[in-house]
A and B are shown apart, each in its own frame.
Chain A
């Protein structure tokens, strides 16, 4: 059996906000088909780490490689890094389907327009093709009937499912989920997790920052526990939840039960 191809490799990532060092050297590799869940307390740097992968947050040092292509960085003159080729970042970002905590749907567009926007205006797909795939994706997340509604008229769960469809529409190599259920009412969490679980089952590569431990244990094949800016412990779900070794992880797991 051949090794699965490498989708994302992050090496020795540091991120500093002024005097505060949020990430103190984090490395992570995701192969195709991996479902990696990043867990950790608030302030552990897990969202920052995810946002550094697509350069929404610029790392202070370290490198990010997407599908074998390392993002070229240069010194920004303030002790940090910035991309030296904006076009490259824009191109590589189309490989990463980001889903945000607060959905961030474009409020002036219908659900279908949200889903077809990037395929048409960034990827250069034809309108017909984009609408066809867009409608298929909306049907998948159970929102076909809502395709002509505006985001403000949808529930949080529906908005997040639409946001997932929007991310899928760019046919990304990797899906990035940044606490996708944290802004939702408890009764709406399930419908979103079902959609994400389906994606995991079909072996879509995903990196998922989440507080839903049971869900992480169920769908992920690899769990990363971040604490104070470093990977404190990582392993299979059974190792992490069944047999935690570090004190901090033990404490974290007992605190959420």
Chain B
């Protein structure tokens, strides 16, 4: 390593920095103009030749659906990540029973389809609960009668299992020397975990977590199969009501792409708060 080298080219290429954004002038290049014209033509065709008259009527429901989708994504990603941290940690340092338990959990959940888990929870547990008067009389019953708690549970468990593995790798990958330095200056275990080990592991795992969160977004439509009205479910409703197939699906694809784009940019911003070089 030498002094004052410019940022490494390979890692810089992956980073999303303001300089990478297209400037107004950079649009006026022949190939870009051609591509822009093709895009404009496509959009014109979509707007002009396809049927969008149903859209205004469904807009409020679509908006609500997007909110439900986002609520599903964020609640399950946050809860799942909170579970993933201990799942990853015990696999690296825990006593063997906990280690085996965490490993088993991750293996089983990652080894079975999310749709199956969702249905097992909803149709299995969901039909088991009403048989117990204690549960029917508990304060939880109004929620357990709904379908969304089962969706949140299934998506959370799934995210926790995948991210548990990611965090296991991230915890194990923090250089031993940095942990040792913290111990050498008298840090206790909790401070070491909170100040050094965890933030360092999250920092390492962030690029992976971006991708996993995007995948999680695209797992959310599965909850439509258990009657949660997310954006996918609203689009299905549109198709049933109007017998229009492609237009709603195109719109749905666009909505998911926009949400993905926002997610990716947000995570890139978080990643770039701490620049890295090389590994």
Q: Which residue of A lies closest to B182 (CB)?
A: A106
**Is residue A108 contacting chain B, with contact meaning CB distance below 8 A?**
yes
Which chain A residue shows the least CB distance to B200? A108
A126 within 8 A of B: no
A11-19, A67-75, A94-102 - the one binding chain B: A94-102
Interface residues of B toward A: which range?
Answer: 20 to 34
> Residues 153-196 of chain B: 1 if any A CB is under 8 Å from the residue's CB, otherwise 0?
00000000000000000000001011011111111100100011
Complex Cα spacing A155 to B1, Å: 5
How long is the Cα–Cα vector from A86 to B199 in the complex, in angstroms? 24
**Does any Cβ of A come within 8 Å of B75's Cβ?**
no
Whether B3 and A158, one on each chain, are in contact in the complex, defined by CB atoms closer than 8 angstroms, is yes
User: Please, how many angstroms separate the alpha-carbon atoms of A50 and B134 in the complex?
Assistant: 63
Q: Write out the residue numbers on chain A whose beta carbons fall within 8 Å of the beta carbon of B242.
A: none
Option from A90, A105, A152 in Cβ contact (under 8 Å) with B276: A152
State whether A155 and B2 are in contact (beta carbons under 8 Å apart), knowing that A56-B184, A93-B184, A122-B187 are contacts in the complex: yes
Residue of A nearest to B2 (CB): A155
Count residues of A near B (Cβ-Cβ below 8 Å).
Answer: 34
Say whether, besides A108-B203, A150-B275, A153-B277, A122 and B186 are in contact (CB < 8 Å). Answer: yes
B195 touches A98 (CB 8 A): no
Complex Cα gap A152–B196 (Å): 16
B201 to chain A: closest residue by CB: A108
B180 and A56 contacting across the interface, CB-CB below 8 Å: yes
Is the CB of A104 closer than 8 A to any CB of chain B? Answer: yes
Q: Does the CB pair A152–B184 fall under 8 Å?
A: no
Q: Given A86, A102, A122, A155, which contacts B185 in the complex, CB threshold below 8 Å?
A: A122
Nearest CB in chain A: distance from B227 CB, A: 44
The residues of B that contact A60 with a CB separation of less than 8 Å are: none
Q: What residue of chain A has the Cβ atom nearest to residue B187's Cβ?
A: A122
Asked if A156 lies at the interface with its beta carbon under 8 angstroms from chain B, I say: yes
Decide if B277 touches A170 in the complex (CB within 8 Å).
no
Most buried by A among B2, B185, B199, B275: B185
B21 part of interface (Cβ distance < 8 Å): no
For window 70-111 of B, CB contacts with A under 8 Å fall at none
Q: Which residues of A contact B184 (CB under 8 A)?
A: 54, 56, 93, 96, 98, 100
List 4 tightest A-B contacts by C-beta distance, closest first.
Answer: A104-B177, A93-B186, A94-B186, A104-B181
